[in-house]
Amino acid sequence: MMTTPVLFTCTIISVFLSCALGNDLARGWGDKIDWKTFEDGLQAAKEEEKPLMLVIHKSWCGACKALKPQFADSKEIEELSKNFIMVHTEDDEEPKGEQYIPDGGYIPRILFLDSEGNVRKDFYNVGGHDEYKYYYYSPDMIVETMKRVKENIHSPAGEEKKKIDEL
């Protein structure tokens, strides 16, 4: 049958292009991270019962440009990302709604959402500025929050609710 060699060739070309082009959604934020679009991320978070990490940035932003290569080079972020649904939005992809600007519309902003898509205001940059709680300028700060989210959001539902109520 002739379709088998054609199918095989198409598969090989597809694999080659995927490897050559890398992760299209990464856009410089880490090719080894499994990035998703915002809508796909919300769906995956619900299906996989994982928290979602949302990086909101702009292509023209100096602070975003400075953070991007540091983020991409961080092996700790790469490793911890396996515990999250990873999403980053650029320019007009930024989600609309008050919950995505909990203390202002500055950028870059990193928010953590539960598996139901709710922004978890209790997970912010503890070492950062009081007025810009979701602003991060170093991978170390991001890693610390990712560890706290991983530790607290992956606990059994009753324990998680208890921890939230205590805040």
Question: Looking up tokens 């950062």, which residue turns up?
Answer: 128
The strand pairing partners of 35, in sequence order, are 86
- What's the pTM? 0.80
Distance CA 154, CA 18 (A): 32
With beta carbons less than 8 A apart as the criterion, state whether 85 and 48 touch.
Answer: yes
Mind listing the pLDDT tens digit of every residue in the chain (167 residues)? 444 454 444 334 333 434 434 479 999 999 999 999 999 999 999 999 999 999 999 999 999 999 999 999 999 999 999 999 999 999 999 999 999 999 999 999 999 999 999 999 999 999 999 999 999 999 999 999 999 999 998 644 434 444 444 55
